[in-house]
Structure 1
């Protein structure tokens, strides 16, 4: 296993670019009582520099999510009696995914058999880049859809916290924490995905290379911070970065935004909705001022 150090690569940002140049991110998220997850993931995607961000939510959530950020494109989805995305939404998401440069599923979704089917189907068959987070990870764990032999060539990023990681591998949290790097690599090899194992010293690995992130602080231990990260990584994929590089840069920026915010707000006072406001400062701190940059050719 090669451990990479230094700074992550930056995506290209040509001076003559337009919305289409910088990609379209699609975030499928939220359920009744969890509208914030969709909104936070959408904000993370917007702050990635993606050209367009579509947020697909159960129809009843459209007014509240739309009121949080006017920059979103909103896709109302059929919902069940519990306010979750229903099985009827699968074809709508599949059609919307064709127009998207990258897709994320899972934040605030809730759990039910219909969402298990949707998550499994998209993970296996979606041709483009896909970020799988939160309840979509729990869905994959429930149905056992992880082996890379059944997955298309589309790029995949899995973003588990230790509890979700334990469910995906059929183990317990203490075992995950005892071998974070080894188990992250195991999951990456098994699934063919880049794995982002969140926590202090977040591990990013594709099974051949790894990065141990050094940005961030305990202020990130707050509900919704992972949703912002999911959107940020999805937006970077939409901009054309490969999965390992997008995950590396997204985790670095996310942690750096928390570090910058904590200097003014403190770690105890930091909440997830602060993070998108500090991502621009994180971009500036790593030297992205609107031009140049490069994208690694490796996956």
Structure 2
């Protein structure tokens, strides 16, 4: 269904295995290092064509080797180079040692790193720590990273920003804030989720002639989602279709005093193409719903005992926006769980699962936790979730079934197939109600009879892409959740052949 679609992402050890196999196939290892360095240097020259002086900061191992080769290439290209070694270069062996000798033969002098050293290049090359880092950054590397970040200079990160986990996207104590990251052979999962958004900068993959797809036993750990999925799964509607063909969404939320979240979810469900949208909310919110979106069939309900017929009529249930954790919310969730309909659960519905249904798992729901909610569901802390987001979303899916969306920068989707990563979204989404908008979109897609995992992936793409479109139009600051509905509607509609418009 989706397993083979999208740009593949790998763990660091998988890419190291690809490197080993490439060398075993007859490619000389130092030649591969030179190819990587050349690709990184070419990217640097393309990004900063006016730069006449570089600061190349090297650590140890092959990542340092890449840096030494880059320094030699730059000197041969007529660029001045400040070459800095944070680890004693005399300890380098193998290809890294050969790279050091290459730099020396090019006439370069290596400066030892000191805490008061001034980085005087127009661009800094980060060749400190590679993808093998699995613990917190220690001195003197920590001091070098902090100094590079404080310099305010643009930074090229070689393979990965030093200090960033290649597998989880977590910062291991501190990490380079790169302007451009050039990674090699296979793309790394950790470059696309969590803290990576603030550290990778522009991203570029250089395969170095390695065809990853030829190794059937090295399957990607995840794939990047793409807006092309929208064309594949949201084709033009039949000319004779009617509202009954596109499903009935029922939103249960908006406990007394918390009506806005459920209204936003309902409106987004309507804008994303559900044939009918009903809303069960506290009676005091009915007028606001009718004024905001009269197309939504709103029902002011005081008790879950009143909703049996509404549950029966619906095709999918969205439970959680503004639900509350009191008796009203508990009753609504209990009734929804008993109804046997596909579910989208968010917000307090997730918190109620923790306290009242700690072992419940289902194949017919989409769970949409943010890191704090994920931590409660897993019985851990938000910090631990963010330290390994891929583990958290996979573990939630294993325990709870269905499809799970772990929200945040580089949102992750885990379902019965492999994990997906959303490359869209922006900091303007850090505002109230964004999760409610997502829930409404997901419910609409499920109502239109998309498989749950597909609906989860498309919903995340539409939600984040709508936010990007809105931010492009008017900026990130001040972006509201209610802004997304109309932008998502445009993205959800296939190419208009007559008007010549595209998504």
Normalising by structure 1, we get a TM-score of: 0.85
Pairs within 5 Å for 1:114-125: 114-120=328-334, 122-123=336-337, 125=338
The runs of at least 4 aligned residues of structure 1 exceeding 4 Å deviation read none
1:247 to 449, 456, 464: 456
Give the secondary structure class of the aligned counterpart of 2:310.
Answer: helix
Q: Which residue of 1 aligns with 2:70?
A: none
Q: Does 1:10 align with 2:223?
A: no
Equivalent residues of 1:116, 1:140 under 8 A apart: no
The superposition leaves residues 261-283 of structure 1 with CA deviations (integer Å, 9 ceiling, x where unpaired) of 11121000211111112112322
Pairs within 5 Å for 1:221-240: 221-240=430-449
Q: Does 1:136 align with 2:319?
A: no
Give the secondary structure class of the aligned counterpart of 1:74.
Answer: strand
Cα deviation for residue 2 of structure 1 reads 5.0
Q: Does 1:53 align with 2:267?
A: no
Structure having greater relative contact order (Cα 8 Å, sep ≥ 6): 1
Give the secondary structure class of the aligned counterpart of 1:190.
Answer: helix
Distance 1:271 1:45 in 2: 17
Equivalent residues of 1:120, 1:139 under 8 A apart: no
Equivalent residues of 1:186, 1:207 under 8 A apart: no
Pairs within 5 Å for 1:103-182: 103-120=317-334, 122-123=336-337, 125-148=338-361, 151=362, 155-182=364-391
The superposition leaves residues 217-269 of structure 1 with CA deviations (integer Å, 9 ceiling, x where unpaired) of 11111101111100000010001011110111011011111111111210002
Aligned length: 273
Larger radius of gyration: 2
Q: Does 1:189 align with 2:380?
A: no
> What is the RMSD of the two structures over their aligned residues, measured on CA atoms?
1.9
Equivalent residues of 2:345, 2:365 under 8 A apart: yes
The superposition leaves residues 119-163 of structure 1 with CA deviations (integer Å, 9 ceiling, x where unpaired) of 24533x332210011011111111134432xx4x6x100011111
Q: Does 1:28 align with 2:252?
A: yes
Indicate the larger mover: 273-282 or 162-171: 273-282
Equivalent residues of 2:317, 2:336 under 8 A apart: no
Cα deviation for residue 30 of structure 1 reads 0.8
Gaps of 5+ in 1: 79-87, 291-299
Indicate the larger mover: 113-122 or 227-236: 113-122
Normalising by structure 2, we get a TM-score of: 0.52
Pairs within 5 Å for 1:40-79: 40-78=264-302
Q: Which residue of 1 aligns with 2:166?
A: none
Gaps of 5+ in 2: 1-219, 498-503
Equivalent residues of 2:253, 2:329 under 8 A apart: no
Cα deviation for residue 114 of structure 1 reads 4.9
Equivalent residues of 1:38, 1:65 under 8 A apart: no
Give the secondary structure class of the aligned counterpart of 1:108.
Answer: coil
C-alpha change, 1:202 and 1:146, in structure 2 (3 Å) is farther
Distance 2:331 2:256 in 1: 20
